[in-house]
Amino acid sequence: MAYALLNRLTTKPGQRVRVVELLLESGRLFDDNPSCHLYLVSESADEPDIVWVVDLWTSEAEHAAALKAPELRPFVEATVPLLEGPPHQLEVHPAGGKGVPG
């Protein structure tokens, strides 16, 4: 079954642009990973310090393994100080749709 997360990140005031840059750059590490079906970074339309990240993976184990990649560490270390706190994560169960693995 596919594994999906909705992540809400609250940046420190004025840091959203940099956080988005870091997330997009780090997300390139998943480009060649066939287990990653979607990594979408979005800026809130009405909250200036909110960033949304949607992850869709073949499994929770594949997602966890990708997060352990040593090349991801520098991005995490650069991003965390720019956030007000840890991301709020919601695990959801994709029911289907375009891009959802069968």
CATH of the domain at 85: 3.30.70.100
* 99 domain residue, yes or no: no
* 97 domain residue, yes or no: no
DSSP-derived secondary structure for 15-65? -HHHHHHHHHHHHGGGTT-TTEEEEEEEE-SS-TTEEEEEEEES-HHHHHH
* Gyration radius from the chain CA atoms: 14
Q: Which two tokens stand for residue 59?
A: 């499994």
Q: Per-residue pLDDT for 101 more than 80?
A: no
**43-100 tens-digit pLDDT:** 999 999 999 999 999 999 999 999 999 999 999 999 999 999 999 999 999 988 888 8
Q: Which two tokens stand for residue 102?
A: 């069968």
* 98 domain residue, yes or no: no
pLDDT for the residue numbered 1? 79
Q: Per-residue pLDDT for 102 more than 80?
A: no
